[in-house]
Amino acid sequence: MHTFCQILHKTTSESHELYNFTTNRNLKNIKLDFYGIVQKYECMPKLEIPVEEDMTNRLMKIFLFLYAVGPIDYSISSKFSYFKKTIDNIFMSKHDREEFISRFCKIQRHYWTLSRAVYNYKWRKAPYRIQNDLILTPIHDSQHNVVTIMQNNNKYLFTVLDLRNIIEGALTNSPFMFSSPIAPKNPYNNMPFDKATLYNIYFFMKQGNFVLSNLFHNYFLSNFNLTEFKRENEVIIRKKYLEQYIKNADLNELFMEGIYMLSSNKFTKRISIDRQFPVPRFVEIMRPYLRLHYSQLYSLDSAERDNSLFELNILLRKFAEHNPKFGRKCVRLMKEKPNEVYFLDDHIKFQRIKCGGSYRDSHITFLERDFVHNFVRAPRQRTYEQQSTIRVMVNNSSPSEEDDNVENDDEEDDESTETDD
């Protein structure tokens, strides 16, 4: 901003005294000295300023007095605020308005030319501090998935995957499940990325046909404003945080939560997990179920909580029916060898419940949420008429084609009805 004020000062001055006046002095009476020079040398009648340019010159002098003299008043927002108030003045003639805009644009053009020249010089002279990714693999700036970021006159190389993880980790920061996004930072110097860098990263990903994160895209739509981003995307932040927690949490914590999930569910409360059961193996099997478990407990979306709860109950019921003795410790007696100890870890493959019809017509047919829930909840309903009505609706939805998903769900409903009865 100081460069803009210097350009404004030099281009607006009409006398040598004002042109040579230094605004870099840190004096208390600098504004009074500047005003005195303007009154003595710039407002003299002998300058013979044309009438049509007198108003523009006065406005530029006011502009200069406000911004070129007071270093404390440097502000980009105040600069454009004065510009907008000036061109919106109803008492200003069309010629004066156009002349003021022309001079302002000329000063702004010089400012951006100098700024770009300085930036290009710093970019060429800046050394590379980091030339490997976060797993210490050497990378080069000529690679299509590598972004070069300059901070403190130093260059840092990042892969798109590393930047996406860094940005998502900062935006999904949620201590104790409370959303508190923080600014994405450079992990090598712990400095936040400025807005220009964030814009460069976003457009590099978008133009390079990389998969954009929903969080980063919404952060861009909120003009990289953390407060507005949290207010409009708290549900998405919680959902993404739960996914990352299930993936990166400590195995012992997931093990204890998995034990609680099985003991608190009515379909799996009879399953007893031995204390010596391998923790990594247990977490590997229960991780997809824990994702639904955490979603139905901590999600901010009521519909998602409800769907996760019913889907979890159905899947855990199938899990318990497949191997009721899961988690038990067994000992195989050997005559000449040491006894062999093993654990019962046979389990059914985890598979989410499919809703929405077959693949061929899912882009055409839309199933209402109530219909899907009734179809899933059908085994819980005791009335024969309600179950018959649901089967009639399913049969009438596609009379010419058979849907494998519907047939599988019908078989599951029959099995669950026999179990509940």
Q: Are 100 and 56 in contact (CB under 8 A)?
A: yes
Residue 392, Cβ density class (10 Å: 0-12 exposed, 13-18 middle, ≥19 buried): exposed
- Range with lowest mean pLDDT among 18-27, 123-132, 138-147, 296-305: 18-27
Give the closest residue to 48 by CA, choosing from 14, 7, 82. 14
Q: Is pLDDT of 14 > 70?
A: no
If you count them, how many residues does the chain have? Answer: 421
What per-residue confidence (pLDDT) applies to 212? 87
Q: Nearest to residue 180, comparing CAs of 188, 172, 169?
A: 172
Q: What is the pTM of this model?
A: 0.72
Please count the other Cβ atoms lying within 10 Å of the Cβ belonging to residue 26. Answer: 6
How much of the chain, in percent, has pLDDT values that exceed 70?
71
Using the predicted structure, report yes or no on whether residue 315 has a pLDDT greater than 90. Answer: yes
**What is the per-residue pLDDT across 171-184, written as a single tens digit (0 to 9) for each?**
999 998 899 999 99
Query: For the residues 211-239, what does the mean pLDDT come to?
Result: 94
Q: What is the pLDDT of residue 7?
A: 77
pLDDT for residue 225:
95
DSSP SS3 for 127 = coil
Q: Where exactly are the structural domains of the chain?
A: 2-123, 146-244, 249-343, 369-420
As a whole number of angstroms, the distance between CA 161 and CA 205 comes to 10
* Contact between 216 and 265 (Cβ < 8 Å): no
3-state DSSP assignment of residue 70: coil
Structural contact between residues 394 and 353, judged by C-beta atoms closer than 8 angstroms = no
Whole-number Å distance between alpha carbons of 108 and 105: 5
Q: What is the pLDDT of residue 265?
A: 92
Q: Which residue has the higher pLDDT, 354 or 112?
A: 112
Is the pLDDT assigned to residue 401 strictly greater than 60?
no
Output the pLDDT for position 408. Answer: 45
Lowest mean pLDDT among 94-103, 154-163, 282-291, 299-308: 94-103
Give the pLDDT mean for 84-95: 85
Percent of the chain with pLDDT over 90: 49
